[in-house]
Structure 1
Amino acid sequence: MGAQLRVYKRRIKTVSATKKITRAMEMIAASRIVKAQRQVAASTPYAQELTRAVTAVATGSTTRHPLTTEVEHPSRAAVLLVTSDRGLAGGYSSNVIKAAERLTERLTGAGREVDSYIVGRKGVAYYGFRERKIAESWTGFTDNPTYADAKRIAAPLIEAVLRDTADGGVDELHIVYTEFVSMLTQTPVEHRLLPLSLEPAAQAEAPKGVVLPLYDFEPSAEEVLDALLPRYVESRIYNALLQAAASKHAATRRAMKSATDNAEELIKSLKRLANAARQADITQEISEIVGGASALADASAGSD
């Protein structure tokens, strides 16, 4: 029993050390969520207003710009998947990868060839393990993305949209990422960034008595779109990166809290087992002492 007691004590020490690590990681993730939430709150209005501005230009002119005009029979599409560089976040990366897989299957079923662009080591590892082609990938910044990272991602995507499909270009650009809803809820979502889906409200006729604004573009609507649309793509990708970062930190915090709680339960169970082993040792020692005393007493009585 003494050896069993030492095993329990050693396991309690190991689990306690693990509990300290998971507790520290939980606290770090909780502190990072606050900063990530502020960044999401600051970037979302800008991305929304820029989308409205681009929509206004597109609906207020008759220009058929390649980034706002849908192809009648699209044959190729690009999918940007945003995952994480690190694990220990529960099903965060696997959930968004599954969403990208469903989107890819749907696009493939519609007759489109899909080019995959991946952000994060988890997504790169998933596609690499399955020997799937990756058009381009970016890693190393998913925990704290910057606008420069978004510009670096947006550049080849915009170039692919502008390029003819015969030369390897694409007709559509989709993005799949995890939207931060709350500390407890993070939802994988997918959006089509290009061609821009014009808002129904912008295309609807004005209510009776309300005059729709008229726009005069200088130097031209096409040049305005040329200037606005790259900013639109960059801002939407940047907002998606921030949403994904906040979601990842929330998922890490939840996973580490669960790990800490499980470690506490395991320590309690091991302590109960250790106490039972210690009690068994004590009982055995008492039995041995009583048995030895009885044997000595019997020996003394026999000699008399």
Structure 2
Amino acid sequence: MGAELRAIRARIRSVTSTAKITRAQELIASSRIPKARQRLESARPYAAEITRVASILISHGTHMDHALLNRRPDTSRVAVLLMSSDRGFCGGFNNNALRQGDALAGLLREQGKEPVFYLSGRKAVDFYRFRHRKTEREWTGLSGHPTYDVAAEIGQTLVEAFDMPTRDGGVGEVHVVFTEFVSMLTQQTRVRRILPLEVEEREIGDDAEGSGSVPPPPYEFEPTPGDVLDRLLRQYVRGRIWSMLLETSAAEHAARRQAMTSATDNAHELIGHLTRRANSARQDEITNELNEIVSGADALSRSNAEE
């Protein structure tokens, strides 16, 4: 067997082994997507309801006295929470988030602000460590299956940084870079500012038919609207972080499935191309062997004739 044919067959075995791995990763990601989407859909009603309640409280005029709703001109430090995955094999998923984080940092610096980074996901942590970039806090091991406890910890950390005095390293804004699950084939990297809070208010007084407005219903708050707002807004931040983690997790699984499907298809296409090359090389070898046999037979016939 010729050296070229041996090399081609070795390449075929290697690509076949790779195709098995990518196919397995594709199946694993496919099996995890339904659960990730279910968790995301289950969390959306809670996020919508807490936004509605916060909007009601804000409409009662209590927001002007709450720190989480007020800008802090006394500091130029801005916290950026960057959400990535813990594992690879998901195409441009992490690169898109990292590029968006760098773009956001550049924009903040142009505005005279100093970005400080909080990282979620091993890929972002490795990226920043390799480039010797300073980070404030890091969370890993949660991208595939995030938990509310970690979301609450992240939210509490960011709220404390926002509440912290400037001399102690407090921040004046908090932005989050995450990936939104749009569909199985589409994932969009987003940037949202969560502190100071901009609650998505709606027309509370709109009637069911949308034909006009009616006065908002009266509410009674215990112990006081300010106390209720304080607890609610902190819960609101944790809920937003939780929702973004779930979005990023579902988007990660979808991106991995899409990338592994493409990789498997490319591997099978390459195997077909290499197989055709191997067949061609083998045919050339057979042709050469036949030519050598015919040439040997002719030489033997001429030798016998001369004798």
TM-score range, shorter chain: over 0.9
2:115 corresponds to which residue? 114
**Identity over the aligned pairs, expressed in percent?**
47
2:143 corresponds to which residue? 142
TM normalised by structure 1 equals 0.94
Distance 1:44 1:256, change over 3 A: same
* Cα distance per residue 1:283-304 (max 9 Å; x no partner): 111111111111111111111x
Shift of 1:199: 3.6
2:305 corresponds to which residue? 301
Distance 1:269 1:191, change over 3 A: same
1:61 corresponds to which residue? 61
2:156 corresponds to which residue? 155
Residue 213 (structure 1) aligned to one of 206, 210, 217: 217
1:115 is matched by which residue type in structure 2?
Answer: V
**Cα distance in 2, alignment partners of residues 94 and 196 from structure 1:** 28
CA contact (8 A) 2:181 2:188 kept: yes
User: Structure 2 matches for 1:44-193, cutoff 5 A?
Assistant: 44-63=44-63, 64-72=65-73, 75-193=76-194
- 2:46 counterpart SS class: helix
Say which is worse superposed, 207-216 or 250-259, in terms of deviation. 207-216
**Cα distance in 1, alignment partners of residues 44 and 159 from structure 2:** 21
Distance 1:210 1:202, change over 3 A: closer
CA contact (8 A) 1:180 1:243 kept: yes
- 1:300 counterpart SS class: helix
- Kindly report structure 1 stretches of 4+ aligned residues shifted beyond 4 Å: 202-209
TM normalised by structure 2 equals 0.93
**Cα distance in 2, alignment partners of residues 173 and 204 from structure 1:** 31
1:195 corresponds to which residue? 196
2:258 is matched by which residue type in structure 1?
Answer: R
Shift of 1:30: 0.7
Distance 1:266 1:164, change over 3 A: same
Give unpaired runs (5+ residues) of structure 2.
Answer: none
**Cα distance in 2, alignment partners of residues 70 and 247 from structure 1:** 32
Residue 229 (structure 2) aligned to one of 225, 228, 232: 225
Two-structure CA RMSD over aligned residues (Å): 2.0
CA contact (8 A) 2:91 2:256 kept: yes
Give unpaired runs (5+ residues) of structure 1.
Answer: none
1:132 is matched by which residue type in structure 2?
Answer: R
Aligned pairs, number: 303
* Cα distance per residue 1:101-160 (max 9 Å; x no partner): 222222222222222100011111122222221011100111110111101211211111
**Cα distance in 1, alignment partners of residues 203 and 293 from structure 2:** 93
1:137 is matched by which residue type in structure 2?
Answer: E
CA contact (8 A) 1:61 1:221 kept: no
Shift of 1:203: 9.2
CA contact (8 A) 1:74 1:172 kept: no
**Cα distance in 2, alignment partners of residues 167 and 295 from structure 1:** 96
Shift of 1:175: 0.9
2:251 corresponds to which residue? 247
**Cα distance in 1, alignment partners of residues 212 and 268 from structure 2:** 66
* Cα distance per residue 1:181-211 (max 9 Å; x no partner): 0001000001111111144535999996621
1:86 is matched by which residue type in structure 2?
Answer: R
**Cα distance in 2, alignment partners of residues 209 and 243 from structure 1:** 34
**Cα distance in 1, alignment partners of residues 200 and 274 from structure 2:** 60
**Cα distance in 1, alignment partners of residues 216 and 91 from structure 2:** 49
1:36 corresponds to which residue? 36
Shift of 1:278: 1.0
* Cα distance per residue 1:39-73 (max 9 Å; x no partner): 11111121122122122212213351001123356
Distance 1:226 1:161, change over 3 A: same
1:220 is matched by which residue type in structure 2?
Answer: T
Say which is worse superposed, 3-12 or 88-97, in terms of deviation. 3-12
CA contact (8 A) 2:30 2:253 kept: yes
* Cα distance per residue 1:212-262 (max 9 Å; x no partner): 234332211221122112211111111111110111111111111111111
Distance 1:205 1:30, change over 3 A: closer
**Cα distance in 1, alignment partners of residues 99 and 24 from structure 2:** 30
